């Protein structure tokens, strides 16, 4: 009987001693400290999200500008009848001349 009581007391003491540091570590932070930590975390995440958004927007803008310039040059070349046609355009013109339009396939 005494062995069982001693073992139960040892287990209870061990559990209480292991839980004390965990409880006291959380109590050291005041509500103000927790609010400051939460504010800093939100600020960091917002800053990261904003940077990512700016980067993505910048990439999309650059890509759109490149495509616009390419389209403008292509249209300008077709309208002015530029002699420097691409091989693709020349092949398409040859097919049309033979009567084998690529759209009818």
pTM of the model: 0.38
- Is 77 inside a domain boundary? yes
Residue-wise pLDDT tens digits, 54-76: 999 999 998 999 999 888 888 88
In the prediction, which pLDDT does 105 show?
A: 47
Q: How far is CA 16 from CA 12, 35, 48, in A?
A: 6, 29, 42
- The answer to the question of residue 73 being in a domain is yes
More confidently predicted of 76 and 53: 53
DSSP 8-state code for residue 83: S
Q: Which range of residues forms the domain containing residue 58?
A: 30-99
Q: Establish if 89 belongs to a structural domain.
A: yes
Residue 35 vs residues 24, 38, 40, 43: alpha-carbon distances, Å = 19, 5, 9, 12
In a domain, 93, yes or no: yes
Encoding tokens for residue 80? 């002015």
Report the number of distinct structural domains present in the chain: 1
**Do the domain assignments include residue 15?**
no
């Amino acid at each position: 009987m005494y062995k069982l009581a001693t073992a139960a007391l040892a287990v209870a003491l061990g559990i209480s001693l292991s839980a004390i540091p965990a409880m006291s570590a959380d109590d050291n932070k005041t509500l103000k400290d927790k609010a400051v930590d939460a504010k800093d975390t939100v600020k960091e995440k917002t800053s990261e999200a904003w940077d990512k958004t700016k980067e993505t927007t910048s990439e999309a803008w650059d890509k759109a500008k490149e495509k616009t310039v390419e389209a403008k040059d292509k249209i300008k070349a077709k309208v002015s009848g530029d002699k420097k046609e691409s091989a693709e355009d020349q092949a398409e013109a040859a097919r049309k001349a033979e009567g084998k339009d690529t759209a009818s396939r």
